[in-house]
C-alpha cells in the first residue's frame, strides 16, 4: 500500500505538495511535501474524512480531482517519476460530469497515513534579533537569505516575546548542544534570555522567518554563519555569511575565554530535530499572538500613521535579493515595521483591493482607446464616423480595453483573471505570492511613497524603489497606500491582523508526528 500523507487544513499556506494546491474549505488538502512511489499500480484512490481526493499522475502533470460525495472513483495512474520542487502543474477539474465518466467502482479506504518521501521537504526557521531590527538591517539579512539558499520563504511574522516565552525559548536553545563548540548553546541561550525578554516594561521586536525545502537547516546555518570562527564550514567560506557582516563577538584581550560583548544577528537551529522542536514551541505560542506588534509609546500619538506596503509577485518568481533590497531602501525612512506576512492574494481579495482602480481606468482609458478605434476604422474603411459612433466605440471598445487592463492587474496580483475563475474558487489563495509590510511612524504614508516613487518606473526619480526595480506601470515592484484612510481599508481587505505562520507550523508538526 502506498504511504501518502494528507492533511485537513485547506488554508495552510506553506504546506503545498510539489506546488501549492488549495481545496474548497470543505475538502481535504493534499499536503505531501514530495511524492514518490516505488511501485505504480493501475489505479489509486485516496479517501480522507469522507472526502475523496483522486490523483492522476504522469511524467509532467498532477491532476487533483476533489468532490464531496461519498462515492469513490478510480483514476488511472499512467506513470510517475520522483518530483521535486516546482515540477508539475495542478489543474482543477470543475466539470463533475467529466469525472463521473471516468468510473464509479467503489473502493474501501485505501490510504495509510505515513511517510514515503523522496528528497523530503521540511521546515526550519530563522529569528532576526531585536538589535538587528533596531539597526534597520532586516532588509540586508532577508536579501542574503533569499538569494543564497534554494528554499522557499513560506511565512514571516514580527513577534515580541514576553518573559515566560523568552525563558522557554532560551531553555530550548540551552539544551541544543553544538558539539563543534560546547560554549555556543549557553552563549546563545544567555543572549536569548536577555535580548528577547522585555526590558523597562517594553517587549522587543523579533522577526520570525519560516523556510521550506530540502535540508533547510544545513542551508540556513551555512548562510547565517558560525558563532566562533573555528566552527566555519567549507560552505561558509564561499562569501560572507550574515554573521560575518552583522554579528559581533568581542573578547577580553587579556583573557580570550571571556566574552565582553555578543550579538549573533540571527538565530537558527542546527539540525532538523532541533528545528522541529523549536517550531513546536513557537507554533503553540504564536497561536495567541497578534500579527501587529504594539510595543512602544509615542509622545505625540496623533502624528503617528500606519501604512501598508506590498512587495509584489514579480519579486518572488525566482530566488532573488530584491525583496530584502526593497526593504532596505524603505528603512531609510526611519519608520518601524510592526507587521509582516507572506500572502497569496485571492481573486476576491484582489478585486476588492483594486476595486477603486476599475472606475479610474475606465475614465482614463476608455475615451483614449475609443477614439483610437475610431481612427483605425476611418482609415481602414475610408469613411468618416460621427460623434455617435465615437461614443459607441468609447462605451464598447474603450470600456473593453479598460476592463482588460483591470483584469491584467488582478491576474498579476492573484495569478488568475476574474473572468476565468470559477465563482467557488474566488476566495481561494492565489497561485502567486507577495509580502505585506505594515510601517508605523510620523507621516508614514508620505515617507514610504517618497522612497517608492511614482507609478511609472520610467518617470520615477533615481534612487527610488520603482526606478531601481520596476519594469512598467503594472510590474512596478511594490505598492504603498496613498493615504491613512486607504491604508486602513487595504489592511482590512488583506487581513493584516492575521498570520498563517501558526497554522503552517501546526499542520507541519501534525504531519511529522503522523509520519513517525
All three cell numbers of 71: 462515492
Query: In this structure, are residues 70 and 104 in contact, taking their beta carbons and an 8 Å threshold?
Result: no
All three cell numbers of 83: 518530483
Query: In this structure, are residues 4 and 510 in contact, taking their beta carbons and an 8 Å threshold?
Result: no
For the residues of 377-419, what is the DSSP string, one character each? Answer: HHHHHT----HHHHHHHIIIIIHHHHHHHHHHHHHHHHSS-GG
Nearest Cα to 99, choosing from 74, 125, 80, 133? 74
Angle at which helices 163-174 and 272-286 cross, to 10°:
170
**CA dihedral for 15, 16, 21, 27, sign (positive or negative):** negative
All three cell numbers of 503: 497554522
Backbone angles phi, psi at 504, to 5 degrees: -60, -45
Rounded Cα–Cα distance for residues 291 and 306 (Å)? 14
Query: In this structure, are residues 190 and 170 in contact, taking their beta carbons and an 8 Å threshold?
Result: yes
479 noted as active-site residue: yes
Choose the catalytic residue: 2, 73, 204, 479: 479
Rounded Cα–Cα distance for residues 514 and 111 (Å)? 13
Rounded Cα–Cα distance for residues 415 and 418 (Å)? 10
Q: Which helix (H) or strand (E) holds 51?
A: strand 51-57
The residues annotated as belonging to the active site are 479
Amino acid at each position: 500500500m502506498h504511504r501518502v500523507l494528507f492533511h485537513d487544513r485547506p488554508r495552510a499556506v506553506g504546506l503545498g505538495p510539489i506546488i501549492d494546491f488549495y481545496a474548497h474549505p470543505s475538502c481535504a488538502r493534499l499536503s505531501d511535501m514530495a511524492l514518490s512511489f516505488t511501485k505504480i499500480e493501475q489505479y489509486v484512490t485516496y479517501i480522507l474524512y469522507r472526502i475523496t481526493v483522486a490523483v492522476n499522475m504522469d511524467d509532467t502533470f498532477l491532476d487533483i480531482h476533489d468532490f464531496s460525495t461519498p462515492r469513490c472513483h478510480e483514476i488511472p495512474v499512467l506513470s510517475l517519476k520522483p518530483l521535486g520542487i516546482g515540477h508539475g502543474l495542478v489543474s482543477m477539474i470543475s466539470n463533475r460530469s467529466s469525472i463521473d465518466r471516468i468510473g464509479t467502482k467503489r473502493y474501501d479506504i485505501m490510504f495509510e497515513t505515513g511517510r514515503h518521501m523522496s528528497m523530503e521537504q521540511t521546515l526550519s526557521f530563522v529569528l532576526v534579533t531585536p538589535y538587528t531590527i533596531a539597526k534597520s538591517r532586516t532588509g540586508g539579512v532577508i536579501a542574503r537569505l533569499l538569494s543564497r539558499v534554494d528554499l522557499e520563504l513560506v511565512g514571516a511574522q514580527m513577534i515580541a516575546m514576553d518573559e515566560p516565552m523568552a525563558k522557554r525559548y532560551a531553555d530550548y536553545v540551552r539544551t541544543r548542544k553544538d558539539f563543534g563548540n560546547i560554549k555556543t548553546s549557553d552563549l546563545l541561550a544567555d543572549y536569548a534570555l536577555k535580548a528577547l525578554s522585555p526590558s523597562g516594561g517594553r517587549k522587543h521586536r523579533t522577526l520570525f522567518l519560516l523556510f521550506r525545502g530540502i535540508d533547510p537547516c544545513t542551508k540556513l546555518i551555512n548562510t547565517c554563519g558560525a558563532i566562533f570562527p573555528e566552527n566555519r564550514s567549507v560552505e561558509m567560506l564561499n562569501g560572507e555569511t550574515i554573521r560575518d557582516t552583522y554579528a559581533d563577538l568581542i573578547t577580553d584581550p587579556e583573557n580570550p575565554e571571556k566574552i565582553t560583548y555578543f550579538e549573533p544577528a540571527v538565530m537558527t537551529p542546527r539540525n532538523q530535530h532541533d528545528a522541529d522542536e523549536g517550531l513546536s514551541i513557537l507554533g503553540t505560542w504564536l497561536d495567541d499572538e497578534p500579527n501587529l506588534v504594539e510595543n512602544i509609546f509615542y509622545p505625540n500619538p496623533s502624528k503617528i500613521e500606519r501604512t501598508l506596503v506590498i512587495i509584489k509577485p514579480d519579486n518572488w518568481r525566482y530566488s532573488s535579493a530584491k525583496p530584502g533590497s526593497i526593504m532596505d531602501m524603505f528603512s531609510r525612512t526611519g519608520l518601524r515595521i510592526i507587521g509582516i506576512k507572506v500572502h497569496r492574494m485571492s481573486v476576491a481579495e484582489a478585486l476588492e483591493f483594486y476595486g477603486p482602480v476599475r472606475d479610474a481606468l475606465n475614465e482614463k482609458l476608455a475615451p483614449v482607446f475609443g477614439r483610437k478605434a475610431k481612427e483605425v476604422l476611418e482609415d481602414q474603411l475610408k469613411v468618416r464616423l460621427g460623434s455617435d459612433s465615437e461614443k459607441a466605440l468609447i462605451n464598447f471598445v474603450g470600456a473593453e480595453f479598460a476592463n482588460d487592463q483591470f483584469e491584467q492587474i488582478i491576474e498579476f496580483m492573484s495569478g488568475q483573471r476574474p473572468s476565468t475563475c470559477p465563482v467557488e474558487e474566488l476566495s481561494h489563495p492565489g497561485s502567486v505570492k507577495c509580502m505585506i509590510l505594515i510601517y508605523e511612524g510620523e507621516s508614514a504614508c508620505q515617507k514610504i511613497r517618497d522612497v517608492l516613487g511614482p507609478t511609472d518606473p520610467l518617470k520615477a526619480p533615481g534612487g527610488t524603489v520603482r526606478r531601481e526595480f520596476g519594469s512598467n506601470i503594472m510590474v512596478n515592484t511594490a505598492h504603498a497606500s496613498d493615504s491613512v484612510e486607504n491604508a486602513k481599508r487595504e489592511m482590512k481587505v488583506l487581513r493584516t491582523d492575521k498570520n498563517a505562520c501558526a497554522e503552517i507550523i501546526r499542520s507541519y508538526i501534525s504531519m511529522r508526528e503522523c509520519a513517525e
